[in-house]
Amino acid sequence: MKKSDKKDFQRLLEDLERQGWQPMVCDSPVPFYDNAVMCGQPNGVGDVVKETMMLPKEFLSMQPEFVVKAKGDSMKGVGIEEGDVLQVVTEVQAMDGDTVLVWLDGDYTIKTYCEDETGHPWLVPQNEAYEPIRLEDYERVTIVGVVKKVTKCAPRASYRTCMRIISRAKEKQPEMKAVSPEQVARAIRGVAPLVKVGRQWYAVYRVLADCKVVKEEDFGTFCELVKGEVPEHECLPTRVELQRMAVQSFAKPVAMWNEANAPVQGKRFKDYVKIAEKMLDMIEN
* Distance from C-alpha of 153 to C-alpha of 174, rounded to nearest angstrom: 38
Please list, in sequence order, all residues whose beta carbon lies within 8 angstroms of the beta carbon of residue 156, skipping any fewer than 6 positions away: none
Answer whether 115's CB lies under 8 Å from 97's CB: no
Q: Which residue among the candidates 2, 6, 71, 74 is catalytic per the annotation? A: 74
Is 170 considered catalytic here?
A: no
Handedness of CA 77, 82, 87, 90 (dihedral sign): positive
Determine the 3-state secondary structure of 281 from DSSP.
Answer: helix
Residue 74 known to be catalytic: yes
Q: What span, in angstroms and rounded, lies between the C-alpha atoms of 269 and 273?
A: 6
Marked catalytic residue, from 111, 148, 252, 270:
111
Q: How many CB atoms lie within 10 A of CB 193?
A: 10
- Active-site residue list: 74, 111
